[in-house]
Structure 1
Amino acid sequence: MRSEVFGRRRLTQVAAAAVLTLAVAAPAQASALVALPAANMEAVLKAAQIDPRRADSALTPGSKDSVLLVEQALAAKGLLTAQYVDGHFGTSTISAYAAYQRSLGYTGIDASGLPGQTSLQKLGAERFTVGNVVTAGAKVTYHGALMNTRTKAMLVAAEGLLGRQLGITQGSYNPGGVGGSAGTHDGGGALDISVSGMTAETRTTVARNLRKVGFAAWVRTPSQGDWGYHIHAIAVSDPDQSSGAQHQAGDYYLGLNGLANRGADDGPVVTPKLTWEEYQRS
């Protein structure tokens, strides 16, 4: 009888210990099940192009929460001071992100401070996930010019709107480029388009339709620089952009002409200004 009582007492003690173990483990398990916040890569890229070109510390609409996640992660790595963790992807955040890219072994354009998918996902490990991913795609040749698959898709869409094909005088990934390009063609998303045989009205129509699908596009004239008439186009939010192309994309959003003088935009008005991804959803 005493043995039976002892057995029941032992089972009760074991059961109590099991309950206590589950109670202690529950918070940790619950914590593991909490979903990480998501950083919207489209929003981060847009802010990283626009914010460094602002004269103030205004925020790019729709980007604050995602930019804060990136800045908090950079601060946790000791790359960004607390005062700049503010949702504004300005020059300090660009510099901090470039330092992070270099820590991963990236060099050149790959360490420009413009977030790419791989570096963003690594930065967010155990802190945030990455949504609305933007990829440049593989390098391809189209109309005899080098570009990436994202830029090609954008150009094909613009040609569809125009009902004509366009000639390319300078493509992407062209370090050094031609005279006056100021490094904008060193990376992805940059094109110079021939306007040979086009009237002034047609040139404007081409630039307008390039803008509709997500290019920052301007008709360049001989009076503006050491070049002939052509259309200069930058694929907005191309993650392979050179620093010069990033600056032009930012200036486009801010209503500027993309030139060194940072004059008013002289291109056709397109509202709203869209990225390629936004155009596809529209």
Structure 2
Amino acid sequence: MRKPVSRIVIALLAVLTVLIGFPAAAEVQALPTVDMEAVLKAAQIDPRRADSAITPGSKPSVLLVEQALAAKGLLASSYADGHFGTRTIDAYAAYQRSLGYTGIDASGLPGPTSLRTLGEQRYTVVKLVSAGSKVTYHGKLMNTRTKAMLVEAERRFGTSFGVTQGSYNAGGTPASAGTHDGGGALDISVSGMSSTTRTNAARALRQVGFAAWVRTPAQGDWGYHIHAIALADPDQSTGAYHQSGDYYLGYNGLANRAPDDGPAVTKVTWEEYQRAN
């Protein structure tokens, strides 16, 4: 003779049936998402603004990151407003240090690992951006993301570039002011190029996601060259992501913050360029 089924088991089965029958119940448990591309763009642009304007498309993601920082006591709740300004940069840098990061890794610019760790039980990260591993290309050190960008810029330009300074070059050329200490920074030779060709080279670099300017001897203690910063590279030094922000805001990337003197292009990151092509 079969034993009677426990009333408790029946009740549990009934509850499971109800839950399975209503997808909305499962959806309630889903965490919100943080768009890393949007966060990186805001973290580059917002600290360079003269006001507290919010970078278009970034507010929902930035707000989730700021709320997570506030929950850890690293950011006053009044600054959890969707503007990734200097207070948020400082708070994020403090969080990175709490994870044991130092130097460039604690610059306040979010990386994929720290961003996901901060969001545990609070949000999930989408549109991840990774600098990749360190490689040597044209005899200079850079990361795989920067190399891929440079290869595509060379294809557009029609010939290879000469790289005179790469990335991760801490203590390098003093005139670079630390912009090459982290990832995404390159200096390109323009030896033998005409003014028009130099401009075309900078244009090709900009089209694939670099903030690129033709530097002249009149601007500083250097010869003609192109200075390029890979937008949204999460390994950027503080100086490099300040230059990225200035590029977005229409400046020349120098300390005088004069108007941008480079070729006009649609400003995109490498990820945006790849999706469009």
Q: Which has the larger radius of gyration?
A: 1
From 174, 191, 194, the counterpart of 1:196: 191
Partner in structure 2 of residue 77 of structure 1: 72
**Shift in Å, 1:22:** 6.5
Paired residues for 1:5-154 under 5 Å:
15=7, 19=11, 30=25, 34-154=29-149
**Shift in Å, 1:140:** 0.5
Q: Counterparts of 2:134 and 2:92 in 1: how far apart (Å)?
A: 25
Return the letter of the residue paired with 1:83: S
Listed one character per residue, the Cα deviations across residues 232-281 of structure 1 (whole Å, up to 9, x for unaligned) are 0000000000000000000000000000011110111102x000000001
Q: Counterparts of 1:44 and 1:199 in 2: how far apart (Å)?
A: 38
The reply on whether 1:243 has 2:243 as its aligned counterpart is no
Unmatched segments (≥5 aa) in structure 1: 1-10
With structure 2 as the length reference, what TM-score do the two structures score? 0.92
Listed one character per residue, the Cα deviations across residues 40-63 of structure 1 (whole Å, up to 9, x for unaligned) are 000000000000000001111111
The answer to whether the 8 Å contact 1:179/1:227 transfers is no
**Shift in Å, 1:177:** 1.6
Q: Counterparts of 1:242 and 1:186 in 2: how far apart (Å)?
A: 6
Q: Secondary structure at the match of 1:180?
A: helix
Q: Counterparts of 2:221 and 2:10 in 1: how far apart (Å)?
A: 80
Listed one character per residue, the Cα deviations across residues 151-177 of structure 1 (whole Å, up to 9, x for unaligned) are 000000000001100001100000022
Listed one character per residue, the Cα deviations across residues 79-135 of structure 1 (whole Å, up to 9, x for unaligned) are 111111100000000000000000000000000000000000100001100100000
Q: Counterparts of 1:146 and 1:23 in 2: how far apart (Å)?
A: 59
Return the letter of the residue paired with 1:257: N
- The more displaced of 183-192 and 173-182 is 173-182
Paired residues for 1:213-224 under 5 Å:
213-224=208-219
Partner in structure 2 of residue 256 of structure 1: 251
Paired residues for 1:155-166 under 5 Å:
155-166=150-161
The reply on whether 1:184 has 2:176 as its aligned counterpart is no
**Shift in Å, 1:19:** 2.7
Q: Secondary structure at the match of 2:42?
A: helix
Q: Counterparts of 1:211 and 1:20 in 2: how far apart (Å)?
A: 60
Task: Say if 1:126 and 1:164 are closer, same or farther in 2 by CA, change over 3 A.
Answer: same
**Shift in Å, 1:16:** 6.7
Q: Counterparts of 1:83 and 1:22 in 2: how far apart (Å)?
A: 46
**Shift in Å, 1:20:** 7.8
**Shift in Å, 1:32:** 8.5
The answer to whether the 8 Å contact 1:179/1:226 transfers is no
CA RMSD of aligned residues (A): 2.1
Partner in structure 2 of residue 8 of structure 1: none
With structure 1 as the length reference, what TM-score do the two structures score? 0.91
Q: Secondary structure at the match of 1:211?
A: helix
Q: Secondary structure at the match of 2:151?
A: helix
